[in-house]
Homo-oligomer: A and B are copies of this chain.
Amino acid sequence: MRDESAFMVLQFRHMKRRPNPRLDDVARAAGVSLATASRALSAPQLVHAETRARVLSAAERLSYVPHGAARALATQRSRTVGAVFPPVDNPIFASATHALAQELAAAGFTLLLASHDYDPDAELAAARALIERGVDGMVLVGTDHAPALYRLLEQAGLPFELTWSLDPGGFRHCVGLSHRLASAHVTQHLVELGHREFAVIAGVVRYNDRARERLAGVRETLAARGLALPAERVVEAPFSVADGRAALGRLLARAPGFTALVCGNDPLAIGAVLEAQARSIAVPQALSIAGFDDVELAAQISPGLTTVHVPSADIGRLAGRRLLARLEGKRVRRSEEVPAPLVLRGTTGPAPRGA
């Protein structure tokens, strides 16, 4: 029972707003018990239609807002899902975040979002914060995570989905693609165009299985054909168009003579295209360039960027859908692969004859 006198004192002393109405107040206003009011709102079928109407109108009149923490404490579920993403300002993660949030909202769930800068410790800390907040499930990106994070999730019994990548062990829930395979397809395509001299601008591979696998895909494919990929022909660069430009500059200074350039992501590739054009290197006549991700701009620059289409919004949506299904006790297949087709546009072409 609330202490009305304390409430009055507050009124007089600080002119404080009256506290938000509780279910208790709604019940009283509707002339029913607390229990009935609760049922009327969260299990309407259990209550007489007329009573229910009285409760609902009372709630409306008082502009009652349920208290999530109290509900969470009583039910032991928060209707909340956590996601910890590397820089959310990477456009591909941004669209996944949006899709995930929408998918969750449609089911009455809310997204708790944390981000970090490709730092496993920061990721662990962020995840811990989300778990304390009582998220019912979690979405992570890729498979490179601190062992302590996996332990934490498993000990807490929290369902989680890995995204973008497929779990190599195959026993964790994930929705993504084989970056190695897709990258191999790109490389293969260039080999078939007659290219023999390759260079690579890889994303930063540390703590990033996607970047690592993409690079491995190039390496494997070239090795299988007996083609060399000397160390000077491989540079790592962070994620931006400017980095792509600079990286191409470094490659050209260090080990010119390549006719095909495979990039770890689209911004890097677009940067490389811009830099090549600025140096009057004809793309694709003198240099073929391929990217990865298929961001919007890839189709808009000219020539259009050959790349791998990664359905990032779908990944976010699917991760949400799968998590929601699991929370309802449904079973989903452990590993879900999304299609990641090679998209051929204008930046790749036959190797120049003289090469």
DSSP class of A's interface residues: helix, strand, loop or mixed? helix
For A69, A102, A128, the residue with the greatest tally of chain B CB atoms inside 10 Å of its CB is A69
Chain B residues with CB under 8 A of A80: 112, 133
Determine how close the nearest CB of chain B comes to the CB of A315; give it in whole angstroms.
13
When the two chains form the complex, which single residue of B66, B69, B267 contacts A69, counting CB atoms closer than 8 Å? B69
When the two chains form the complex, which single residue of B94, B101, B300 contacts A271, counting CB atoms closer than 8 Å? B300
> With contacts A94-B89, A102-B115, A134-B67 known, is A297 near B297, CB below 8 A?
yes
Q: Contact mask A109-138 → B, CB, 8 Å, 1/0? A: 011111100000000011011111110000
* CB-based contact A110/B114 at 8 Å: yes
> Could you tell me which residues of chain A, from 1 to 18, have a CB within 8 Å of some CB in chain B?
6, 9-10, 13, 17
Chain B residues with CB under 8 A of A242: 296, 299-300
When the two chains form the complex, which single residue of B69, B245, B274 contacts A73, counting CB atoms closer than 8 Å? B69
> Chain B interface: which of A150-158, A198-206, A280-288?
A150-158
When the two chains form the complex, which single residue of B70, B98, B130 contacts A88, counting CB atoms closer than 8 Å? B98
Asked if A301 is at the interface (CB within 8 A of a chain B CB), the reply is yes
Q: Count of chain A residues with Cβ under 8 Å from any Cβ of B?
A: 68
When the two chains form the complex, which single residue of B6, B68, B271 contacts A133, counting CB atoms closer than 8 Å? B68
* CB-based contact A115/B131 at 8 Å: no
Please report the C-alpha to C-alpha distance between residue A235 and residue B279 in the assembled complex, in whole angstroms.
Answer: 36
* CB-based contact B114/A112 at 8 Å: no
Determine how close the nearest CB of chain B comes to the CB of A102; give it in whole angstroms.
7
Least CB separation from A86: chain B residue: B98
* CB-based contact B98/A65 at 8 Å: no
Determine how close the nearest CB of chain B comes to the CB of A84; give it in whole angstroms.
10
Q: Contact mask A251-283 → B, CB, 8 Å, 1/0? A: 000000000000000010011001001100000
Please report the C-alpha to C-alpha distance between residue A18 and residue B133 in the assembled complex, in whole angstroms.
Answer: 20
* CB-based contact B78/A89 at 8 Å: no
Q: Contact mask A312-325 → B, CB, 8 Å, 1/0? A: 01000000000000
Chain B residues with CB under 8 A of A297: 241, 270, 297
Determine how close the nearest CB of chain B comes to the CB of A108; give it in whole angstroms.
8
Additional A-B contact list (18), CB under 8 Å, known A88-B88, A89-B95: A9-B155, A20-B156, A65-B128, A65-B156, A67-B132, A69-B70, A69-B72, A80-B133, A88-B98, A88-B101, A89-B313, A91-B94, A97-B97, A98-B115, A102-B115, A111-B112, A274-B300, A278-B302
**Would you give 28 A-B contacts (Cβ < 8 Å), ordered by A?**
A6-B155, A13-B155, A20-B156, A63-B155, A68-B132, A69-B69, A69-B70, A69-B73, A87-B98, A88-B97, A89-B94, A93-B94, A94-B97, A105-B114, A105-B126, A105-B129, A110-B133, A111-B114, A112-B112, A241-B296, A241-B297, A242-B296, A242-B300, A270-B297, A271-B300, A274-B302, A278-B302, A297-B297
